[in-house]
Structure 1
Amino acid sequence: MLHQVIGMQDAAVVKCDVDALFAQAFVQAGIGAWTCDLADNTLAWTPGVYDIFGLAKTDRLDRRDIVKLYDDQSREIMERLRADAIMHGRPFEMEAQIVRPDGERRWMRLRADVVRENGRHSRLFGLKQDITDEKQRWDALRSLAERDPLTGLANRARYEDLFLNGSRAQPGVTPLGALLLIDLDNFKQINDQFGHAAGDACLKMVGQRLASAFADAPLVARIGGDEFAVLSHADASPPALKAQVARLLASLARPIAWQGQTLVLGASAGIGFATDPYCYDADDLFAIADKALYAAKGAGRNAIIVGNAQIRAFPHDFGLEIGAHHGIRP
């Protein structure tokens, strides 16, 4: 009998040690468990969740206050998934960004499931894990994969993913004002006369000037050897955008110093404006801008052409007048 009692005590000690080990491992991994009573929204957390949110273990938990720590987009998604889970009993998982009380931003992976008792959904429970470091590593890798190594701009793969593949051409996405296509003038002559090192130096400078001219644009990309694309915001008016492009072309026309040589480039631009910023056909919009660019190349160097929905171009567009007034044309 005594041996049985001692054995039971040893088992309890082992179980206690294992529980403590698991708890410690969860904390080190940035993982915490949580539950929410749906009757009154009472929250219960393990220490790991307090750590994720940057709260003290003695802090009072009020769901209304905790929800405010989610950033706006994450809060909207979380509340929508939560409502669906409560209604249909479906588990969900998401990545959410939170802002701690001290202002630090963190990312966490949220997993949730539903407990059904007495014929109703009574409780949500799940895990929360801090994935900030993981997110930063993946963002860094993705940035490398999506960047043109020479100019530092987005590369063609990123451009196609964001625009040509039609991922933006759906209602409710971030609105788009226009697609701007830019092609360098005299680039082949510089390569032929001074070599590819000079051409690379020109492309690097063009990348810097493009990034500076459209610092707030959703996308500035190098999509070919000497071809570039810019996606503009919907809130920019057509005259304002054309004036901005004219200033860009004036910037690109400035001489580039390279190994004692003065390299002179120019650029032509075609613009396609989205008739509906929230829902447009990416292929059609590209065709409009591309046709306008082709017309700008034919109209002379440092020209801007705006295409219309019928994929025509206007050689005497307002943009050309801006170019002439700024002395862009040779």
Structure 2
Amino acid sequence: MKLASDGPRPPTSENSEQFNQLQNLFDKSFKAARIGIWECTLPDETITWTDTVYELFGLEPRSPLTRAATVALYTPESRRKLTEVRNAAIRDGEGFTLDAQINSATGDLRWIRITAIVERQDGIPVRLFGMKQDITAEKTLFEQLRILAETDAVTGLASRAKFESMLDEVVASGASARKALLLIDLDSFKAVNDRLGHQAGDDCLREAARRISQAVPNATLIARLGGDEFAVIHDYGSVNDLEHVCQRVVDKLEWWVGSSANKFKVSASIGAAMILPGIAAKDIFAEADKALYAVKAAGKNGFRLLPISDPIADVA
């Protein structure tokens, strides 16, 4: 005979124990991952949190909650974004994920990742619920990697990647403030490297970076492009103003390297181009590069600004 076994089985001490073990494992895993569960009923906005969420916000577990008080712990920009996506979710019925920054009640600045689902009844939103996770370590690591990618390891100036990104941004913005691109090349760097060694070469690059920074303290960006090449993005008011900026850099980048027995004079050549509306970043770079080579061909240690196509650019 075959006995029917369809339908739910009655609880036993064995499967109850297994369930409790799984529940305990689930809770521990969420706690280890710094993940908590939250819900907010609508329209009264009653909030319920698990203990981990309380910990993220620096609040005593099971203490009374009001949405106004908890939202006040978000930084202004994150509060604005949260309001925006939350309103859209309630309106459209779609959930959301948001990385937000909070100032916890204990004074810690933290990043949390919020996931939310909207529950509706007869088309009316009645509850928001989801998870909140501490992602501070993830954000910190990402920021450290970003800084490494955007910073030249030898000089501490902006990297070539950061320069290209900034040039594209300036060109795309079409800002009313006039800006120019200066490409700088050290004239005697190869001799320093060949005769004094790479350590002296690195010291020379760091000194050049320091001198450029002193010459143009108000630059939008100063970057090392690689080797002995540097770039500056700088505001200018007139052609004369831009020429004065270039001359300051040329003057500052003239110094002696090495001992009296093995001494080299370092100088710089500069090619400059104006960042004009409607001209692509690569074309502006090409114009500055052409001007730089003209300086090199003319004997180095100077600057060149190629003819200007903008009829108002030379008006003070």
> Shorter-chain TM-score: which interval?
0.7 to 0.9
Q: C-alpha offsets along residues 163-201 of structure 1, whole Å, 9 cap, x if unaligned?
A: 35x46655699x995544322233244345545553333
- 2 CA distance for matches of 1:72 and 1:214? 34
Which of the residues 30, 34, 57 maps onto 2:34? 30
Q: C-alpha offsets along residues 291-330 of structure 1, whole Å, 9 cap, x if unaligned?
A: 5555665777554566686279x9x999xxxxxxxxxxxx
1:1-330 mapped onto 2 (5 Å cutoff): 7-160=11-164, 162-163=165-166, 166=168, 170=172, 178-191=180-193, 193-210=195-212, 219-231=221-233, 238=237, 248-257=249-258, 261-272=262-273, 274=275, 281-287=280-286, 289-290=288-289, 293=292, 303=302, 310=309
Q: C-alpha offsets along residues 2-41 of structure 1, whole Å, 9 cap, x if unaligned?
A: xxx9954554444334323322221221111222234133
- 2 CA distance for matches of 1:304 and 1:75? 49
After TM superposition, the score normalised by the length of structure 2 is 0.73
Preserved contact between residue 271 and residue 290 of structure 2 (Cα < 8 Å):
yes
Residues 246 and 137 of structure 1: CA distance in aligned 2, closer, same or farther (over 3 Å): same
After TM superposition, the score normalised by the length of structure 1 is 0.71
Bigger drift between 59-68 and 238-247 goes to 238-247
Q: C-alpha offsets along residues 57-84 of structure 1, whole Å, 9 cap, x if unaligned?
A: 2444333333333333333333332233
- Note the C-alpha offset of 1:101: 3.3
- 1 CA distance for matches of 2:260 and 2:55? 56
AA at the equivalent of 2:227:
G
How many pairs does the alignment contain? 304
Residues 208 and 133 of structure 1: CA distance in aligned 2, closer, same or farther (over 3 Å): farther
- 1 CA distance for matches of 2:290 and 2:310? 7
- 2 CA distance for matches of 1:53 and 1:259? 63
- 2 CA distance for matches of 1:31 and 1:73? 23
Preserved contact between residue 154 and residue 205 of structure 2 (Cα < 8 Å):
yes
Extract unaligned runs of 5+ from structure 2: 1-8
- Which structure's CA Rg is the greater one? 2
Partner of 2:3: none
Preserved contact between residue 253 and residue 265 of structure 1 (Cα < 8 Å):
yes
Residues 14 and 219 of structure 1: CA distance in aligned 2, closer, same or farther (over 3 Å): farther
Residues 201 and 108 of structure 1: CA distance in aligned 2, closer, same or farther (over 3 Å): same
Q: C-alpha offsets along residues 235-267 of structure 1, whole Å, 9 cap, x if unaligned?
A: x66488876765554443243456975443223
- Note the C-alpha offset of 1:227: 1.3
Preserved contact between residue 184 and residue 227 of structure 1 (Cα < 8 Å):
yes
Identity, % of aligned pairs? 39
Cα RMSD, aligned residues only: 4.2
Corresponding residue SS for 1:138: helix
- 1 CA distance for matches of 2:63 and 2:220? 40
